[in-house]
Amino acid sequence: MKVAMTINGTSQQHEIEPRVLLVQFIREVAGLTGTNVGCDTTSCGTCTVLLDGESVKSCTILAVQADGAQITTIEGLAEPGTLHPMQEAFRENHALQCGFCTPGMVLAAVSLLQENAHPSEQEVRSALEGNLCRCTGYHNIVKAILAAADAAEVPA
Amino acid sequence: MTAVVGTRMLRKEDPELLTGEARYVDDLVIPGALHLAIVRSTYAHATIKSVDVSAALAQPGVVAAFSGADLRPEWAGPMPCAWPVTEDMLNPEHFPIAVHTACYVGDAVAVVVAETDVAARDAAELVEVDFDVLPAVVDLEDALSDRVLVHEALGTNRSYTWELIPDADAVEEAFANASHTVVERYVQQRLIPSAMETRGVVAVPAVYGGEITLYTSTQIPHILRVLAALTVGVSESKLRVVAPSVGGGFGSKLDVYAEELLCLALARRLRRPVRWSEDRMENTQATIQGRGMIQHMELAADADGRVTAVRARLLADMGAYLQLVTPGIPLLGAFLYGGVYDIPAYSFVCTGVFTTKTPTDAYRGAGRPEATYALERAMDALARQVGVDPAEIRRRNFIHPDQFPYSSSGGLIFDSGNYEPALARAMEMAGYDQVRSDQAARRSAGATKHLGIGLSSYVEMCGLAPSRVLSALRYVAGGWESSTVRFLPTGKVQVVTGTTPHGQGHETSWSMIVADQLGVSPDDVEVLHSDTSIAPHGMDTYGSRSLSVGGTALWLATEKVIDKAKLIAAHQLEVAAEDLDYAGGTFTVKGSPDRTMAIGAVAFEAFTAHNLPDGLEPNLEASSHWDPPNFTFPFGTHICVVEVDEETGKVDVLKYVAVDDCGTQINPLIIEGQVHGGIVQGAAQALFEEAIYDEDGNLVTSSLADYLVPSAADFPSMQTDTTVTPSPTNPMGVKGVGEAGTIAAAPAVMNAIIDALSPFGITDIDMPATPQRIWTAIKQSTDASGASGASGAGASGASGANGASGAGANGGPR
């Protein structure tokens, strides 16, 4: 099947098998390996990307379902060589260790602040329920997101 | 230059991890790579009668398919176990792919290699394996009865019994004379380490040169290189092992795995790169699991609650085979069943038992969380018997600061410690007295939401390890670490380390150490690691060893660099070396503060070699190999406050306080991160996680939908603080912090839950303390007290995965 979508501002048109998942399309077809895969049951959220601005788990969507969509992966969140304010907040607050969940976690956080610019700690924690991290105990991730919310309007 | 050690310097590793630029194994683009899929046993125990790969081979894109028998000639030896803990330990022969018998669900029985991952996985479905199903043995105590043998040829399921009983008579005497005796039985349920990155492997052969490069998601490229070379029968000099970015390990990547050996052997045989990516279900079944013990824990104490002897007996679940250090895991805790307490008599016995389940091995803390759990639960039981507060029972038994270095009855020398200030600070931060009075108020008001407060004072044995001690424990290798420090011509510094970071931030911490020693900016320090061609010597990263052993090797190498630089500076400044002072990267002639030479300038002189002292070699570079004389002993106290709803059995953690002492601190930001993550991982054992097997040996929790790794919504933010008691074991005074949180947390949480449930007379709940287990225990307790109206009614609750007795509730309401 032919699928066309825009990933990080670049048009991607490819002939694929219908069973190809969006995450496989991103990683294997478009060659963007910043989006990681941590499970096969939609549990861990490491594969989170923005689809038309909203966070989705790209392992749970077929690439064909994203036909015509605008996708943002971690590689497209900020201009090359710079960090998005959420990425900065993660760094400032030591909100990552091994980094494997980080791309998905950052995109989920960006999406959260778009929906709720000033969440409470409990709202942040609830919103992150679908993104697992094994290293940080979430403490500094929550702190980073609250700090990013405090710092400014977070651009999309 | 201002010192950076001790500051909260942001991590150098972060930008590439935050932007997706980092490359994990699965991200590596390897042209022409074939994909390996593994057919795994769906039975816990079965004879392999035949394997038919013909249908798989006929599929488009399939290049090869093999059974275990087909691949048997590929192995120069069986899978390695590096820790034969006793002379008579039984170790069944174990190959990367089963030849005759599958011994757990997930045991490899056939492989398919194809041009794409999808083709390989599809074809794997078509491999026909004819199994003759054998009975499974899941329960540890059942396994010990030898009713069903996991390995017929061994004649028993008992792998070994290991004892540490320095003075048996003293222990007997202490129990005979005890005023109080605590007799407890605890179950350490099996845990699935669940690093967010599953394992991945690529073996890339150089067909003409004969070399093979193995890229793998491992904590131990160096150890793996040696053992993989021996197992697959390739020359060590032809095998390069690289760990690229690694997405967490927690001990689960501290192993020599079948898939690493399979990729190597198949790449050699097929003369093409072969890669494998583990899916999450495979990760739950084919990657090692942690814990899995039944602990019998006994304390003898005098009338005041001063402990006079400890007696621990363990059954440890090996699973189906002995992996790299499987049998040694209980030994890492064996010396710590007396913990932070001054206990004169000591007895520890552990029996390792085979079951038809995934092998166990190192999981964050490895033996030490189990020891701390048993002791801290037992100390609370003792406090209840003696009738004193849990904080007071701990204070009465602490080793005093003036007793260090302390010779423990378990046979260790604790380097340094000062336990009471950490306890006092934790109690202050937790508002201990206030929580106690709130608890009393709720109880007298008849509230149905009960407050509980739990303490855990721990000491760990880190910095693995003095090589002579490892020898005494029959571990086959040493425990040293290695580092090279070299100045580049422009004054930048290159560091080579034998440690293998996978989230710990070594690039940052190592840069900070070098920056202060050599007077350079941390940004000008390059840290090379995790590639056996670049860093050929190393013992890798586990057991909170990297800083205290690897960081010390690094520190010593910088000292050697300074020593050599001093000779060159003295020559250039035309003074004797003894006449130079060195500080912050600058040599100064004593008494002449204007006569100086920066070490960077010395490095350039060493590079050009135009004007060096006679006989001195060019370049400014030094290596050091550090074998620690002792372990290090970090310690601390954690306090957890919970609320337990008697109507639902649900536990809410209201507050978690941690005061840890890891000696001298290099980077407090990183230390806090390690503590936070460790706490939630430890608390997860208490509250959520359990690898559950059914009676046929099927893993019921084989996905992240079934195995409850906690999310951000499951645990609150934590309050942390530290005390600083430097270690005398190494020049920086560092101790290690990677496992502290995990070691301390489970008993703190469980003691809090049991404290909350004390109005019901409940004194035991198995981990994880699920709402169902708690609700059942409360119900049985209230039913029993309603029926008998008297104390002493025993209630047993939900049973553990190991068939252990569950929530034993003794006594009626108080």
Q: Tell me the residues of chain A between 54 and 83 that have a Cβ less than 8 Å away from chain B.
A: 73-75, 77-78, 83
Give the homologous superfamily in CATH for domain A85-151: [2Fe-2S]-binding domain (1.10.150.120)
Is there a contact between B449 and B456 (Cβ–Cβ < 8 Å)? no
Record the tokens describing residue B6, joined without a space.
């001790």
Name the residue among A33, A44, A130 with its Cβ closest to that of B20: A33
CB contact under 8 A, A96 and B14: yes
- Beta-carbon contacts of residue B372 (< 8 Å; ≥ 6 apart): B333, B336, B339, B456, B458, B460, B743, B744, B746, B747
Whether A117 contacts chain B with CB within 8 A: no
Whether A85-151 and A2-76 are alike in CATH topology: the answer is: no
Cβ–Cβ below 8 Å for A130 and B711: yes
- Name B275's bridge partners: B35, B202
Phi, psi of B143 (to 5 degrees): -60, -40
Q: Which residues of B touch A133 (CB under 8 A)?
A: 196, 712
Quote the Cα angle for B216-B218-B224, to 5°: 85
Q: What are phi and psi of B665, to 5 degrees?
A: -105, 130
Chain A residue numbers touching B10 (CB-CB < 8 A): 91-92, 94
Residue A153 has pLDDT above 70, yes or no: no
DSSP state of B463: S
CB of A41 within 8 Å of a chain B CB? The answer is yes
Contact list, A30 vs chain B (CB under 8 Å) = none
Whether residues A98 and B673 touch (CB distance < 8 A) is answered with no
Question: Which sequence spans correspond to the domains of chain A?
Answer: 2-76, 85-151
**How far apart are the C-alpha atoms of B308 and B385, rounded to whole Å?**
15
Q: Are B266 and B64 in contact (CB under 8 A)?
A: yes
Provide the residue type at B470 as one letter. Answer: L
- Taken in order of first residue, the domains within chain B and their CATH numbers are 14-134+196-248+253-286 (3.90.1170.50), 480-626 (3.30.365.10), 757-814 (no CATH)
- Topology of domain A2-76, CATH: Ubiquitin-like (UB roll) (3.10.20)
Tokens 């503060």, residue? B593
Residues of chain A positioned with their CB less than 8 A from the CB of B672: 94, 140
The confidence score (pLDDT) of residue B1 equals 66
Q: Which residues contact B431 (CB under 8 A, 6 or more apart)?
A: none
Q: Profile chain B (814 residues) by mean pLDDT over runs of 10 residues.
A: 93 98 98 98 98 98 98 98 98 98 98 97 98 98 98 98 98 98 98 98 93 98 98 97 98 98 98 98 98 98 98 98 98 98 98 98 98 98 98 98 97 97 98 98 97 98 95 96 98 98 98 98 98 97 97 98 98 98 97 97 98 97 98 98 98 98 98 98 98 98 97 98 98 97 98 98 98 97 70 37 36 32
What's the Cα-to-Cα distance from B353 to each of B105, B288, B643, B695, rounded to whole Å? 18, 16, 37, 17
Listed by number, the residues of chain B in 280-339 with a beta carbon closer than 8 Å to a beta carbon of chain A are: 280-281
Q: What is the pLDDT at residue B809?
A: 36
Least CA distance to B503: which residue of chain A?
A: A98
CA of B364 vs chain A CAs: smallest distance (Å): 11
Q: Does B395 touch chain A (CB under 8 A)?
A: no
Give yes or no for B31 touching A (CB within 8 A): no
Tokens of B276: 């494998």
In this predicted model, what pLDDT tens digit does every residue of B202-241 receive, in sequence order?
A: 999 998 988 999 999 999 999 999 999 999 999 999 999 9
Nearest residue of B to residue A96, measured between CA atoms: B14
- The whole-number pLDDT of residue B787 equals 57
> What distances in angstroms separate CA B368 from CA B150, B331, B404, B647, B672, one per listed residue?
28, 9, 21, 35, 20
Q: Does A7 touch chain B (CB under 8 A)?
A: no
Min Cα separation B193/chain A (Å)? 9
B673 interaction partners in chain A (CB closer than 8 Å): 94, 97, 135-136, 140
DSSP one-letter code for B523: G
Residues B613/B576, Cβ–Cβ less than 8 Å: no
Give the three-state DSSP class for B552.
Answer: helix
CB contact under 8 A, B677 and A87: no
Average pLDDT of the residues in A16-38: 97
> What is the amino acid identity at position A102?
T
CB of B672 less than 8 A from some CB of A:
yes
Check CB contact under 8 Å for A38 and B281: no
Pairs of CB atoms within 8 A across A/B? 176
Spatial distance between the Cα atoms of A92 and A100, rounded to a whole number of angstroms: 18
